[in-house]
């Protein structure tokens, strides 16, 4: 496949030396939200120090040493993209050349792009990502990212990978930096699963709620990707490693909600087979209801062990609160030994994820001295 890269020349009157040069990879739902938010920030003067020099998906990329107009680049999202292929990676280094701070914004779900994170960091290019495949897969890749960042003095912004920008990772790291020891973390880390179990009442079939969540855009088009717990597993790996527990990728026990037979069904047959979910979930709900408890899909790290799966929790449990697609994380440490620190808020959606990506970019720019936060 050939990838078309357009060199765009800005009008002479608008050329300037950018304070921070950005390359955006991925122009889907999150990437488009990034472009809209960047345009709004620049209109307000908060993003005046950020210059978009590259934007691309798997078929098309545009670059300009003088900066691209974010609103114009939103049209990239409408160009045909071949599924499963990485965004155009060619000539990113060229687009980000020069002495100014350089940041790659990864708004993809591409393993091929995540595999480039350590390389960019080692060359002094900062990376800001919403993709969990960098730090939430193999321990070797996680270590490579951290080693590259430390050796080159480059920054890795990952607040969008867990909780869509909620201060989950930052809180864990700040506690450790202050000498606190993390003993356990547990949380509702999936917006789609949070919605399902906030609404499921044991009366209507669970499959109906799954269809509702899918139609509302809360789940992936194939809801098994959410119900399997794999996405939550990656998020727990990222949290665990931030807490100082360097788990291998296969160390997390996963309690999938997808029965084996349903896991083998072709995607085009899935809708007619979702009823396979109903009986197991009805039985789990009834058992919890008899005890006065609620079902929640929990990610849990305790005593060096990690697991994700459905749990029955007391109604007043710290993780039973929240509404809609809220994420909720409880942290137990030396400081918070009896009553955990609980962080709650919207943990899904293109808008909050895009905001988290650009917040990280602005934070890096400020740390680099390129822009002022005052």
Active site residues: 235
Exposure of 309 by Cβ count < 10 A (0-12 exposed, 13-18 middle, 19+ buried)? middle
Cα–Cα distance between 230 and 106 in angstroms, integer? 20
Q: Minimal CA–CA distance to 65: which of 9, 125, 123?
A: 9
Cα distance between residue 133 and residue 135, in whole Å? 6
What is the DSSP code (8-state) at residue 22?
E
Q: What is the rounded distance in angstroms from the CA atom of residue 24 to the CA atom of residue 73? A: 10
171, 297 in Cβ contact below 8 A?
no
| Both tokens assigned to 91 | 């000539």
Neighbouring-strand partners of residue 21: 51, 102
Buried b (16+ CB within 10 A) or exposed e, 40-50: ebbeeeebebb
Q: What is the spatial distance between Cα 67 and Cα 292, in angstroms, rounded to a whole number?
A: 58
């Amino acid at each position: 496949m050939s990838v078309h890269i357009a060199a765009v020349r800005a009008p002479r009157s608008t050329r300037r030396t950018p304070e921070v040069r950005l390359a955006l990879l991925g122009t889907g739902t999150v990437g488009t939200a990034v472009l809209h938010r960047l345009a709004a920030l620049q209109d307000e003067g908060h993003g005046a120090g950020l210059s978009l020099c590259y934007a691309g998906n798997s078929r098309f990329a545009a670059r300009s040493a003088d900066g691209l107009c974010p609103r114009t680049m939103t049209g990239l999202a409408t160009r045909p993209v071949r599924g499963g292929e990485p965004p155009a990676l060619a000539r990113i280094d060229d687009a980000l050349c020069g002495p100014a701070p350089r940041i790659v914004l990864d708004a993809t779900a591409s393993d091929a792009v995540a595999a480039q994170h350590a390389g960019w960091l080692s060359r002094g290019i900062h990376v800001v990502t919403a993709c969990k495949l960098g730090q939430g897969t193999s321990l070797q890749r996680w270590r490579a990212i951290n080693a590259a960042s430390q050796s080159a003095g480059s920054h890795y912004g990952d607040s969008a990978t867990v909780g869509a920008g909620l201060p989950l990772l930052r809180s864990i790291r700040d506690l450790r930096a202050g000498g606190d020891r993390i003993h356990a973390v547990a949380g509702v880390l999936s917006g789609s699963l949070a919605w399902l179990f906030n609404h499921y009442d044991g009366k209507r079939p669970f499959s109906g709620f799954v269809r509702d969540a899918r139609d509302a855009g809360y789940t992936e088009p194939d809801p098994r990707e959410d119900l399997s717990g794999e996405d939550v597993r990656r998020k727990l790996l990222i949290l665990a490693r931030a807490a100082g527990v360097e788990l291998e990728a296969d160390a997390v026990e996963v309690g999938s909600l997808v029965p084996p037979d349903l896991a083998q069904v072709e995607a085009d047959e899935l809708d007619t087979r979702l009823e396979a979910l109903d009986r197991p979930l009805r039985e789990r709900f009834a058992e919890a209801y008899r005890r006065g408890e609620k079902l929640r899909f929990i990610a849990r790290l305790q005593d060096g062990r990690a697991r994700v799966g459905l749990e029955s929790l007391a109604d007043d449990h710290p993780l039973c609160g929240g509404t809609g697609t809220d994420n909720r994380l409880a942290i137990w440490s030396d400081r918070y030994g009896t009553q955990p620190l609980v962080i709650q808020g919207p943990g899904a959606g293109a808008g909050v994820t895009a905001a988290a990506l650009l917040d990280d970019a602005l934070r890096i720019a400020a740390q680099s001295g390129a822009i002022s936060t005052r």
